[in-house]
Amino acid sequence: MKVLELALICSGSPGFFRGLGTALGQHYRLMECYSTPEAAQMMHLHRPVLAIIDLRGAHPKQVARTWATIEASIGTRFVVVTTQGQLCDEELPVEIRHKTRLAEMATHENGITELVQQIMSDVQSASPAVIRTADVQNMASFSRSTASQVISPFHEIHSGMPRTLASQPASRSEHSGGGANEAGHTESHPGTAVSEPLSIADRYRTRTPELRQMLRRLEVAARHNVTMLLIGETGSGKTHLASLIHEVSPRASEPFLHVACGALPGELIESELFGHVKGAFTSAHADKDGKFLAAGHGTILLDEIDVLTPDQQVKLLRVIERGEFEPVGSNRTLHVRARIIAASNLQLQPLVEHGRFRPDLYYRLNTLSFTIPPLRKRLPDIEPLARYFVHQHAAHLGIEVVEISQSFIDCLLNYPWPGNVREMENAIRSAVIYSNNGLMTPETLPIHVVEGTAGPANDPSVAAFFAARQGDSLGSRIEITEKDLIEQALLNNNFSRTNTARHLGISRVTLYNKMRKYGIMPER
Cβ atoms of 232 and 419 within 8 Å: the answer is no
Bridge partners for 79 per DSSP: 52, 101
- pLDDT digit string, tens, across residues 125-168: 544 444 444 333 333 333 333 333 333 433 333 333 333 333 33
Q: How far apart are the first and last CA of the chain?
A: 26
Antiparallel, parallel or unpaired: β 334-335 and 324-325: antiparallel
Alpha helices in 338-455 (DSSP H): 348-353, 359-366, 379-397, 406-413, 420-433, 447-451
Distance separating alpha carbons of residues 104 and 120, to the nearest angstrom? 15
Q: What are the chain's domains?
A: 2-147 (3.40.50.2300), 209-371 (3.40.50.300), 375-517 (1.10.8.60)
Top pLDDT among 173 and 379 is at 379
Work out the average pLDDT over 74-102: 88
Q: Please, how many CA atoms are within 13 Å of residue 135, restricted to the half-sphere of its CB?
A: 17
Whether the predicted pLDDT of 368 surpasses 80: yes
Distance separating alpha carbons of residues 505 and 432, to the nearest angstrom? 39
Distance separating alpha carbons of residues 466 and 375, to the nearest angstrom? 14
Would you tell me how many other CB atoms lie within 10 Å of the CB of residue 182? 7
Alpha helices in 53-106 (DSSP H): 60-72
Work out the average pLDDT over 503-511: 86
Distance (Å) of CA 218 to CA 213, 224, 230, 346: 9, 10, 10, 19
Cβ atoms of 194 and 184 within 8 Å: the answer is no
Candidate from 120-129, 147-156, 458-467 with smallest mean pLDDT: 147-156
Distance separating alpha carbons of residues 123 and 139, to the nearest angstrom? 23
- pLDDT digit string, tens, across residues 30-84: 888 877 777 887 787 788 999 999 888 888 888 888 998 898 888 899 999 888 8
Highest mean pLDDT, choosing among 190-199, 356-365, 463-472, 477-486: 356-365
Q: What proportion of the chain, given as a percentage, has pLDDT over 70?
A: 75
Distance separating alpha carbons of residues 172 and 210, to the nearest angstrom? 33
Distance separating alpha carbons of residues 102 and 405, to the nearest angstrom? 25
Top pLDDT among 114 and 316 is at 316
Tell me, what's the pLDDT at 305?
A: 93
